[in-house]
Structure 1
Amino acid sequence: MITVLDERESYFLVTNGSQFAVVERRAGKYYSLHAGVRHGVALDDAGVLELIHEAGAHDEKAARRLFDEVSEQWRDIFEHLR
């Protein structure tokens, strides 16, 4: 079962209970944070398992740190562009 632990801007911290990942939502699909070609998936069990595989599984502490970092960077960029 997939759980969304936190949401900020277009970023989500998700877990399958033992693995954690940070994903991005764009146009109704979810993507890993890796550079290069990425394919969007649905936020369901199969989709999140694919994202965790693409993004690499993190422990909760590392995933929360990454989540804070990317969501804060997005906010800083947004504020500077306004």
Structure 2
Amino acid sequence: MSTLNVKIPDEMDDDLKEFLEEHPHYLNKSELVRDALRHLMDSQQLADWARDDIRVSREQIDEGETVALDDLE
């Protein structure tokens, strides 16, 4: 496992300590940061997928490959 040293403002460190007290399922700051990074990367991946889906949908609309909701049975 790699090590990453991060400097944060004292106020943020106080906020992290308070957050850890309120969320005891995180055993330490490292677990919290790893989880936050996972969520950040996952949300970016989801955003990329959403953009791809929107692009495909727009292409289908432009090519007339869609059906109006009222026309569905």
TM-score by length of structure 2 reads 0.41
Structure number with bigger Rg: 2
- Structure holding more strand per residue: 1
- Structure holding more helix per residue: 2
TM-score by length of structure 1 reads 0.37
